[in-house]
Structure 1
Amino acid sequence: MKKSKRNIALTAVSGVVLGLALPLTATASTAPTALRDKPLDWAKCEGSGFGPGQECATVDVPMDYADPGGEEIGVAVSRIRSEKPAVRRGVLLLIPGGPGGSSLEEQSAKARTLPREVREAYDLVVFDPRGNGRSAPVSCGFERRDLAATAFRPWPGGPDGSVAPNMAAATRMAGACERNGGELMRHIDTVANAHDVDRIRAALGERKLSAWGVSYGSYLGAVYSQLFPHRTDRFVLDSNLDANADAHGGQVARGLWAGFERGVEDVFPEFAKWASAPGNPYRLADTAAGVRPMFLRLAARLDREPIPWPGANPAELNGNVLRQSLLDAFYDPEGFPAAARLILAARKGTVPPAPEAPPEALLQNGLAVASATFCNEGKWPTSAARYQKEVDESRAKYPLTAGMPRNATLCAAWPYPPKQDPVRITDRGPSTILMVQNERDPAAPLAGARELRAALGKRAVMVTVDSTGHDAYLGNGNACGDTAVTRYLATGERPARDTYCR
Structure 2
Amino acid sequence: MKKILLAAAVVAVAATAVVPAASAAPAAGGLKWGPCPAGAFPTPDLECTTLPVPLDYRDPGGRKIDIAVSRLPSKHPEKRRGVLFTNPGGPGVEGLDYPQLLAIPSLPAPLPQSVRDQYDVIGFDPRGIGHSAPVTCDLTPEQQAVGNLPYPENPADVVEQAQISKAVARQCATSSTGWMLPHVTTANTARDMDRIREALGEPTLSYLGASYGTYLGAVYTTMFPRNGDKIVLDSNLGPGGYDIDAMHAFSRGLQDRFPDFAKFAAAHPEYGLGTTPAQVTAKFFELAARLEKAPVAGIDGSAFRGLAFSYSYGDAQFPDLAAAWQALDKGETPKLTGEITENMLAARLAVVCTDSRWPRSLASYQADVAIDRIRYPMLGAATANISACAYWQTPATEPKVRITGNGPSNVLLVQNQRDPGTPLVNARKLRAAFGNRARMVTADEGGHGVYVVAGNQCANTAVTNFLVTGERPARDTFCAAETH
TM exceeding 0.5: yes
| Structure 1 range deviating more: 95-104 or 230-239 | 95-104
1:169 aligned partner: 164
1:269 aligned partner: 259
1:41 aligns with 2:28: no
* 3-state DSSP of counterpart to 1:37: coil
Match of 2:309 among 322, 327, 337: 327
Residue by residue over 1:94-149, the C-alpha shift from the partner in whole angstroms, topping out at 9 and shown as x without a partner, is 1230111234124432256411100100111110000111111121110111212x
C-alpha displacement at 1:159, in angstroms? 6.4
CA distance change for structure 1 residues 15 and 382 in 2, over 3 Å: closer, same or farther?
closer
| Structure 1 range deviating more: 233-242 or 398-407 | 398-407
1:185 aligns with 2:181: yes
Residue by residue over 1:372-416, the C-alpha shift from the partner in whole angstroms, topping out at 9 and shown as x without a partner, is 001112331222111001100000111000411111111111111
Residue by residue over 1:175-233, the C-alpha shift from the partner in whole angstroms, topping out at 9 and shown as x without a partner, is 22122233112211110111111111111111111010000000000011111111110
1:206 aligns with 2:202: yes
Aligned mates of 1:286, 1:114 — CA distance in 2: 38
Aligned mates of 1:354, 1:332 — CA distance in 2: 17
Aligned mates of 1:111, 1:198 — CA distance in 2: 24
TM-score, normalised by the number of residues in structure 2: 0.91
Q: Which amino acid aligns with 2:33?
A: W
C-alpha displacement at 1:15, in angstroms? 8.6
| Structure 1 range deviating more: 158-167 or 333-342 | 158-167
Aligned mates of 1:353, 1:76 — CA distance in 2: 37
Match of 1:295 among 284, 287, 290: 284
Question: Contact conserved, 1:201 with 1:207, CA < 8 A, in 2?
Answer: yes
1:195 aligned partner: 191
1:285 aligns with 2:271: no
Structure 2 residue runs of 5 or longer lacking an equivalent are 105-109
Match of 1:11 among 5, 10, 25: 5
Which structure is richer in relative contact order (CA contacts within 8 A, separation 6 or more)?
A: 2
Match of 1:338 among 302, 320, 334: 320
Question: Contact conserved, 2:69 with 2:124, CA < 8 A, in 1?
Answer: yes
Match of 2:92 among 79, 92, 100: 100
Q: Which amino acid aligns with 2:199?
A: A
2:107 aligned partner: none
Aligned mates of 2:276, 2:251 — CA distance in 1: 23
1:152 aligned partner: 147
C-alpha displacement at 1:83, in angstroms? 1.8
1:467 aligned partner: 445
Q: Which amino acid aligns with 1:90?
A: G
TM-score, normalised by the number of residues in structure 1: 0.88
1:126 aligned partner: 123
1:427 aligned partner: 405
Question: Contact conserved, 1:15 with 1:97, CA < 8 A, in 2?
Answer: no
Residue by residue over 1:280-304, the C-alpha shift from the partner in whole angstroms, topping out at 9 and shown as x without a partner, is 422412211222223113212322x
What aligned pairs does 1:80-95 form with structure 2 within 5 A after superposition?
A: 80-95=72-87
Q: Which amino acid aligns with 1:325?
A: L
| Structure 1 range deviating more: 51-60 or 84-93 | 51-60
1:249 aligned partner: none
Aligned mates of 1:114, 1:440 — CA distance in 2: 23
Match of 1:31 among 24, 31, 49: 24
2:471 aligned partner: 493
Structure 1 residue runs of 5 or longer lacking an equivalent are 1-8, 246-251, 310-315
CA distance change for structure 1 residues 37 and 274 in 2, over 3 Å: closer, same or farther?
closer
C-alpha displacement at 1:156, in angstroms? 3.3
1:306 aligns with 2:294: yes
Question: Contact conserved, 1:186 with 1:416, CA < 8 A, in 2?
Answer: yes
CA distance change for structure 1 residues 71 and 367 in 2, over 3 Å: closer, same or farther?
same
CA distance change for structure 1 residues 330 and 353 in 2, over 3 Å: closer, same or farther?
closer
* 3-state DSSP of counterpart to 1:73: strand
Aligned mates of 1:76, 1:351 — CA distance in 2: 42
Residue by residue over 1:308-358, the C-alpha shift from the partner in whole angstroms, topping out at 9 and shown as x without a partner, is 41xxxxxx221111101100111112222222223223333x022564673
Question: Contact conserved, 1:90 with 1:121, CA < 8 A, in 2?
Answer: yes
RMSD in angstroms over aligned alpha carbons? 2.4
CA distance change for structure 1 residues 356 and 329 in 2, over 3 Å: closer, same or farther?
closer
Aligned mates of 2:338, 2:71 — CA distance in 1: 31
Aligned mates of 1:402, 1:449 — CA distance in 2: 19
1:374 aligns with 2:352: yes
2:361 aligned partner: 383
Aligned mates of 2:422, 2:359 — CA distance in 1: 23
* 3-state DSSP of counterpart to 1:74: strand
1:253 aligns with 2:231: no
Aligned mates of 1:31, 1:118 — CA distance in 2: 31
C-alpha displacement at 1:10, in angstroms? 7.9
Aligned mates of 2:83, 2:284 — CA distance in 1: 47
Identity of aligned residues (%): 41
CA distance change for structure 1 residues 52 and 46 in 2, over 3 Å: closer, same or farther?
same
CA distance change for structure 1 residues 482 and 476 in 2, over 3 Å: closer, same or farther?
same
Question: Contact conserved, 2:95 with 2:123, CA < 8 A, in 1?
Answer: no
Aligned mates of 1:271, 1:354 — CA distance in 2: 18
CA distance change for structure 1 residues 10 and 404 in 2, over 3 Å: closer, same or farther?
closer
Question: Contact conserved, 1:75 with 1:136, CA < 8 A, in 2?
Answer: yes
C-alpha displacement at 1:38, in angstroms? 4.1
Residue by residue over 1:43-100, the C-alpha shift from the partner in whole angstroms, topping out at 9 and shown as x without a partner, is 2334352422432111111111122221000101011211210011000001230111
Q: Which amino acid aligns with 2:194?
A: D
Aligned mates of 2:284, 2:148 — CA distance in 1: 20
Match of 2:236 among 223, 233, 240: 240
Question: Contact conserved, 1:91 with 1:124, CA < 8 A, in 2?
Answer: yes
1:5 aligned partner: none
Residue by residue over 1:240-289, the C-alpha shift from the partner in whole angstroms, topping out at 9 and shown as x without a partner, is 001147xxxxxx62221111021101101111111112x44224122112
* 3-state DSSP of counterpart to 2:97: helix
